[in-house]
Amino acid sequence: MASTILFFLFAGFAIACAVSMVYHKNPLYSAVSLVGVFVALSCIYVTLAAPFIAVVQILIYAGAIMVLVIFVIMLLNLDEDKPLTRLRYLYAVGGGLGLILLVQTMFIFYAVLRAPKDPVDTSQTAGKSLSIGQAMYTEYLLPVEIVGIMLLMAIIGGVILVRRLEPGQLKLVVDSELDKRHEEEEKDDYRIAF
């Protein structure tokens, strides 16, 4: 009973932080809300007797990845943008997709309540670091290596994207991109720094 109450408490906190993350226009506030989601998910993992996954969630996601996200936000120096009026129809699409997700969640909750309750075998080591390590480096070695290669490709792509251009080359790139978007009035905008 206590684990159910804790689950709903942490799940409600995660949902509230997720809504806050989407609601805020300032990307730093959204990043802090995302840290709240990660902490709540970690607490849910602890209630499910998976301490290794909970610690990894805190160390990797709430620690390292959020530091990188905040570093990129500070590096980009994002200003307040003017509101987009041309994408107003996406609110209806998002609301419809959110309603579909809510119906799916209620169906899963109903199916879990109707499922037979099997007793938990405490001799199994699901969620422990020993079983995760054995599975990762025996049965799932190829997917782990593929993920490593994909992360390496992402790092190389990030390095290529942030390479420095000469001011003349950068002006040509920005002007051609603004021409493609039909935003010629933005060419002399003070926020576009060369």
Encoded tokens for 179? 């021409």
The answer to whether residue 78 sits within a structural domain is yes
The answer to whether residue 69 sits within a structural domain is yes
The pTM of the full predicted model, rounded to 2 decimals, is 0.53
Q: Which domain holds residue 79?
A: 1-118
The answer to whether residue 159 sits within a structural domain is no
Tell me: the pLDDT tens digits for 52-86? 888 888 888 888 888 778 777 777 766 655 666 66
CA atoms of 85 and 109, how far apart (whole Å): 37
The answer to whether residue 157 sits within a structural domain is no
- Locate all alpha helices (DSSP H) within the chain, ordered by sequence: 2-23, 27-47, 51-56, 66-76, 89-114, 129-137, 141-161, 167-180
Domain count, the chain: 1
pLDDT number for residue 100: 94
The answer to whether residue 189 sits within a structural domain is no
CATH number of the domain that residue 54 is part of: 1.20.120.1200
Whether the pLDDT of residue 131 is over 70: the answer is yes
The answer to whether residue 155 sits within a structural domain is no
CB 178 within 8 Å of CB 184:
yes
Whether the pLDDT of residue 24 is over 70: the answer is yes
